[in-house]
A and B are shown apart, each in its own frame.
Chain A
């Protein structure tokens, strides 16, 4: 594990520009007032309910691995593109006083390698050397780097890992995040920035590692492409605007920083959950009431956080789990592609889709309503506990994993938050909208059925209202006759799909 606090090396131009700004601002500052500019991460509520010693432990652990928003720590264990470029040493030459040039093969170039970038050795003899090398010249064709000043100390061997601009991606991502995202999504990525209070739906809280609109399978994480698609196109029907004019590298820097915040938040969340069982203020006072002394509890805690202790192990495990699940989400095999081409949107296909929508297998209408207006009976029912967080809801209504009450999509509004391509709708149906009660139908419906459903949903904004039998599209009665009869005669009285819609139509 290698960690390096970020370092700054402003160029001369930047300094003079800053000086100009300072001159201009000098007159304004005394009037407007100004904080010291030190942002800090906010902890979640359950963190604050931990016993003080547990809070100290976790807070310090997080600071050690993630730093503060303005002084981020680059933690090599995270599956992120952290550095401007990653490379291996091929050869090096020495000048009169030390290391002069370096020949490298670049494996990952996240940002263009530029003069003035820091060079850091992450393995071999130069690992941990205090003297910092700066690039004076870089020849992309030959891979030769010339240092501004020659480096004393041991020479690197072939195969040593070297990075350029360590943490530069996170550093730039942080600046861009602050400029474009932070006022809604918050410094900690908790979806509670200063402007969030004006918004409905609320901005995404990244700290559970869950993003709603993805192209990956139901249990998998979002891929980077999914996130950049959302940043590029925005989410229609919400306050997330499109950032189409960002440069590609700006986009990827923001995405990396969002992932960084998400990983930090998730680690905090999981560890808090783990600690809360034994070391929340409430649990500690209960244990004291049961006869344990405070000293014993603290002693036990000290043991658990020591090497190979229970809590230390949990930390390692969580880091591994988070790392692996994010890595798995980026694998090409996690992406969902239809295994059959889209069924032509013929009237027959649309009618079949409509039957699936109203039918008892997929039960779409129980949430989205018979007319697709998002007013199905489940919106008035008390829901089971959230599968992700385990939160219990006593109030009727649908809730997402963030605990916010949500409504099923009105499918007639012609607004598709996760994208309006048939493929997007296919993926919504196939692998759900993550963190919401929308289920995944990838295993219960065939590809053909999903495409029929997609075809129907895509015609809904243009369909006449009132879905009773009276307004059935031509051919529906024949198709309805093809539906298998209900198995149990008793069930026929209670919930036969076709009859319910007829009854609904009758009451209308």
Chain B
């Protein structure tokens, strides 16, 4: 019976070791095993963090196996000892040598881990180490003028605005603010305060892939935590603080963004996606956001004029113009076409006005352009006339 208990107590550590050994191959492992990365870290830093984890795992596994083996040995010899009442017990307690050994060896191991991991820690957290040049190269490629001459840092240098998005955690969602475009279509730097040009999204963070990028993290209510499990990035969002966080995704994918700080009853709802994509796609995403946020749906009005008139036929061109005249927005339509003469083609023109073949459409299109520019010229002329008259009157 004694031997049964020895086997029983040794059986469980063996199960534990086997489970640990097969865990990676069974995907019982790091976060994101069911995601696109299958548990592999999706960032260079994350891979180094995983390496540290593996190293610690190896050390603890060796210690675990040795101690369990020692325990098993002690149990086995104990179980084999005959129940001899005259035999004397042997006490290991108070062995100076042993105590020194099991103090010094773990201390040495801990000190080694503490020193060995400092490099990774410093790369992520020490300001001097952060990959400024590579980050700024991304901004340059995106065409952002990120050096703000109007503001100086403490040491007299212009402020460099390297963040690409501001992520605000709130109960229970992630609100994101991107910089917008100026009138010439250049991407602007992200300023600390909201700007009229800014672009907004929610629960959907898009950033360039393959290079370090930075966000500014804030919270608008309680404490949250910005957690990208697949990238091994976790940073608390603290009310009242703006915390820069940088990370680098090494493959284009949709990753999970979670809140890792119990922030209230809806904590579980705070799931968003982080889309790492090539720079062109990121720019295109911002362009789409810009177009969506400035859409005035006037084209929908034009299209509906056509649909209301009947699915197949649509309005004939003249009817269409008459209809616009009734609505008192024929002039607005002409201006609209004129303002978009660079982007709009005659074919596109037909989708709005309907009922035209390609040739007539091109003619009408040009006619409107000419007519509206003639009208503008007239208006300018009459304005100029009025001005001269005024001068003459004086």
Binding site for B on A (CB under 8 A): 180, 183, 195, 198, 233-234, 236, 239, 241-245, 332-333, 337-342, 414, 420-423, 426, 447, 451, 458-459, 461-462
Contacts and interface: CB of A to CB of B under 8 A. Distances in A.
Contact of B196 (A233, A236, A447, A458): A458
Contact of A447 (B271, B273, B295, B329): B329
B332 A242 contact: no
B273 A245 contact: yes
B196 A422 contact: no
Given A337-B301, A341-B336, A420-B200, A241 B296 contact: no
B117 interface: no
A236 B170 CA distance: 10
Interface string B153-176: 000000000000000000111010
B332 A421 contact: no
Given A234-B202, A245-B272, A337-B304, A421 B292 contact: yes
B370 interface: no
Nearest to B339: A341
B203 A421 contact: no
A333 B308 contact: yes
B11 to A, nearest CB: 23
Contacts of B84: none
B133 to A, nearest CB: 34
Given A234-B173, A244-B203, A337 B272 contact: no
B345 interface: no
Residue of A414, A423, A461 with most partner-chain B CB within 10 A? A423
Contacts of B329: 339-340, 447
Report which residue of A234, A341, A422 has the largest number of chain B beta carbons within 10 angstroms of its beta carbon: A341
B297 A459 contact: no
Given A244-B203, A244-B204, A461 B298 contact: no
B296 A342 contact: yes
Contacts of A338: 296-298, 301
B296 A332 contact: no
Contacts of A421: 292-295
Interface string B260-295: 000001100111110000000000000000001111
Interface string B194-205: 111000101110
Contacts of B389: none
Nearest to B199: A420
B300 interface: yes
Interface string B296-330: 11101100100110000000000000000001010
B296 A420 contact: no
Contacts of B293: 420-421
A333 B301 CA distance: 10
Given A337-B298, A422-B296, A426-B296, A242 B203 contact: yes
A346 to B, nearest CB: 12
Contacts of B298: 337-342
A274 B296 CA distance: 43
B194 A414 contact: yes
B243 to A, nearest CB: 21
B300 A239 contact: no
B269 A241 contact: yes
B272 A339 contact: no
Interface of B: 171-173, 175, 194-196, 200, 202-204, 265-266, 269-273, 292-298, 300-301, 304, 307-308, 327, 329, 332, 335-336
B301 A233 contact: no
A198 B295 CA distance: 36
Contact of A245 (B203, B296, B336): B203
B196 A339 contact: no
A245 B308 contact: no
Contacts of A340: 298, 329, 332
A339 B301 CA distance: 6
Contacts of B171: 239, 241
Given A234-B173, A422-B296, A245 B202 contact: no
A420 B198 CA distance: 11
Contact of A241 (B173, B196, B292, B300): B173
Given A414-B194, A420-B200, A339 B327 contact: yes
Given A241-B173, A244-B203, A332-B307, A462 B196 contact: yes
Nearest to A183: B265
A21 to B, nearest CB: 18
A401 to B, nearest CB: 27
10 closest A-B pairs (Cβ-Cβ)?
A: A342-B296, A337-B301, A341-B298, A241-B173, A244-B203, A242-B202, A340-B332, A242-B203, A242-B173, A241-B172
19 contacts: A198-B265, A234-B202, A236-B175, A239-B171, A244-B203, A244-B204, A245-B273, A332-B304, A333-B308, A337-B297, A337-B298, A337-B300, A341-B296, A342-B298, A420-B200, A423-B297, A447-B329, A451-B296, A461-B194
Contacts of A420: 200, 293
B259 to A, nearest CB: 11
Contacts of B304: 332-333, 337
Given A241-B269, A244-B204, A423-B297, 16 more contacts: A198-B265, A234-B173, A239-B266, A241-B173, A241-B266, A242-B203, A244-B272, A244-B273, A245-B271, A337-B297, A337-B301, A338-B296, A338-B297, A339-B329, A340-B329, A342-B298
A423 B265 contact: no
Contacts of B292: 421
Contacts of B269: 180, 241, 243
Contacts of B194: 414, 461
A195 B295 contact: no
Nearest to B324: A339
B337 to A, nearest CB: 10
A172 B304 CA distance: 34
A402 B83 CA distance: 84
A451 to B, nearest CB: 8
B168 to A, nearest CB: 10
Contacts of A339: 298, 301, 327, 329, 332
A336 to B, nearest CB: 9
Contacts of A233: 202
A443 B266 CA distance: 42
